[in-house]
Amino acid sequence: MAKHGALLFSYAFSILVFATSLSCKAIDSEDRKTYIVYLGSLPHNEVFSPLSNQIGILERVVQKTSASNFLLTSYKRSFNGFAAKLTEQERERLAGMKEVVSVFPSRIFQLQTTRSWDFLGLNQTAKRNATAESNTIIGVIDSGISPDSESFNDEGFGPAPKKWKGICQGGQNFTCNNKIIGARYYTDAGASDAVGHGTHTASTAAGNPVKDVSFYGLAQGTARGGVPSARIAAYKVCSVSGCPTEAILQGFDDAIADGVDIITISIGAESSAPFQQDPIAIGAFHAMEKGILTLQSAGNSGPEAGSVSSVAPWTLTVAASSTDRRIIDKIVLGNGKTIVGSSVNSFELNGTSFPLVYGKDASSQCVDSDARQCVAGCLDADLVKGKIVLCDQAGGNTEAHQAGALGSILKTSKPDVAFIVPLPASGLGSQDYDVVKSYLKSTKRPRANILKSRAIKDDGAPVVASFSSRGPNQIVPEIIKPDISAPGIDILAAYSTLAPVTGGTEDERRVKYSILSGTSMSCPHVAGVAAYIKTFHPDWSPAAIKSSIMTTAWPVNDTKTSPAEFAYGSGHINPLKAINPGLVFEASKEDYIKFLCSVLDEESVRLISGDSSSCPAGSAKVSPKDLNYPSLAANVNSSTSFKINFHRTVKNVGLPNSTFKANILSSSEVDIKVVPDVLSFKSLNEEKTFDVTVVGRGIPEGSHVSASLVWTDGTHSVRSPILVAA
């Protein structure tokens, strides 16, 4: 589950939105589409000419003719930006400029329902292969599932696919159907979900469309999964107390044998572990052997560097980011000042203002440091009755609720995500929280009101969540983790009526749909996309599906998210592009065995592979960076010059006769060459190899240099991030 936070940053950075299908008439023979180039606020300079500035920026990427021929609209009164007709290559060049906040496609706006899938462009009218989707089985290794949820109704579904080898062993009164075709449990007394987490993730990946759902009127719309016609098999490995290693391995063992096509597991440890000691890496490796891709959440320990816990290269690791729907609430102080906070607050206070008290002034039994934070057992019921309590930590709302306070205002270190509260409450970042504290000290009778939450449009999305775990990969730095970013903030999906809405014992509410945040929510989004790709390419390997997702991702130009690829991997997921990537980076079991030879002893490798695999010796020994991975990374000595060579192979899955040309998007800190820089294919599934050489003078310790390699054939753009760290 996510570590929850509150108030959104001020935005002067990335506005990246997934492209809907647009029919744009090209200005010239190139494939040009309309994009918005956002440059932030207008400079406070009377002599500054926005139009001249914008044309100057455009001229740097448009080579053939006057930039003004492609400029459509100039934004120059309230903010700085422009609309222009751009090629894909020009868009990428603009997105890489330091003065450009973001580049995003023009699209047709309509009244919205589902946010996350529509935001990604995979709406209900998207191209689908209905028969293949119905034959696709997603294995959900989680906290169980709620079979009575409307999201899993089997109306219109035929029998389970013939390839299904599993059973319905849900225990107690659990009943499967033609939507939930299998269930097993390894904790508690049955597969029913008493936590809510498994129901939420399963419905995000493959839930039916259910209209007019909300959380007490918030985020109202249609809840649906990425592949609503797909089948679900639930493997309950978690209870309220956690997810034992042995249960996780049991879940993988059964799911692989049962015949699932995709595994999604939004579970992880607090830190990464060697592959041979990580049950999820172990399970995912053996799933890969059987042609099953495993998707795992990156973890919720961000923004600390090196906090990503899912690091195996055969697993697709998912970071969490925002969508264009943000849930906020407002605090109105007695002096008339209004402050915007974040919480999923479904309550309305009956009145206009109420007494405000600081936690330390509402406790007679705790030391000041604990009372300020509203630590459990600290608040005096007589001192908080009918009042709003100010607490120095986000968890204080539980104590405020149990003590009988009217509401609470909380200080949070995660200011970009709303969280469900058990009473009228709002979370504030430190700066806004200090404003409230200053007001409280300035008057003898401080008062405040907390308004009910509401959803607003956030044009700054997507931005990587503060809680999302970051790289670098602590086990194998040569593999960039996470791999991809997907929606994980304020996600509305099905929930279990057996589970409490919040952790407070006094909160007796039960709901069928709830709003959660975390990399747990982003992972099933990518699982849905992986299943979607498989419906069009049933013979593709896990590596090919993974490659298609990574190489078609939207580049993220988020200057407020550090450290770049260590936060979002290859970028933000782009489902419709992913079904037609052009080229893929394949990797077989044998490739992963060679990779394991670079990090484990030969005996261990043989045991893992189950055959007589031998590892190369001496100079023939491979480096982890030589795995045929869609991203390229290496570690270097900070004090010396370096020359790094990456060897890669790509398979043509686009047009039979095609020629791809290499383009490098890079800073001047490194010199990058690709040999050959042109790949010509004469047939589908033909493979070509190439080498990428990166030369530099040294990088300060603890820093990194990033670039991108983009193969283009006029139709496809196949992008690989390049990351060199010291």
Instruction: Write out the catalytic residue numbers.
Output: 142, 197, 520
* Distance separating the N- and C-terminal Cα atoms of the chain: 32
Residue whose structure tokens are 């001229």: 59
Helix then strand then coil, % of the chain, to nearest 5: 25, 25, 50
Kindly state the greatest CA–CA separation across the chain.
81
Helix (H, G, I), strand (E, B) or coil at 561: coil
Beta partners for 658?
681
Spatial separation of the C-alpha atoms in residues 53 and 360, rounded to whole Å:
53
| CA pair distance 604, 231, nearest whole angstrom | 36
Cα 226 from Cα 153, distance rounded (Å) = 16
The sign of the CA dihedral 363, 367, 368, 373 is negative
In angstroms, the CA 132 to CA 165 distance is 18
Q: Could you give the 3-state DSSP secondary structure of residue 676?
A: coil
β pairing state of 354-358 and 447-450: antiparallel
Token pair for 720: 């690989």
Q: Give the integer Cα–Cα distance in Å for 101 and 80.
A: 10
Nearest one of 143, 151, 200 to 177, comparing CA atoms: 151
DSSP 8-state class, residue 23: -
Q: How far apart are CA 377 and CA 384, in angstroms?
A: 13
Q: Reduce the DSSP state of residue 102 to 3 states and report it.
A: strand
Cα dihedral sign, 212-218-219-225: negative
Name the burial class of residue 47, with classes exposed (0-12), middle (13-18) and buried (19+) by CB atoms within 10 angstroms of its CB.
Answer: exposed
Contact 233, 166 (CB under 8 A): yes
Structure tokens at 218: 């918030």
Question: Crossing angle of helices 279-289/245-258, nearest 10°?
Answer: 10
Helices 279-289 and 542-551, axial angle in degrees (round to 10)? 110
The secondary structure of 180-213 as a DSSP string is EEEEEESSTTSSB-SSSHHHHHHHHHHPPPEEEE
Tokens of 179: 């939507």
- DSSP state string for 474-496: SS-TTS-SS-EEEE-SSEEEE--
Identify whether the C-beta of residue 408 lies closer than 8 Å to the C-beta of residue 386. no
Residue in 322, 317, 294, 323 with CA at minimum distance from that of residue 565:
317
CA-wise closest residue to 472 among 706, 208, 285: 706
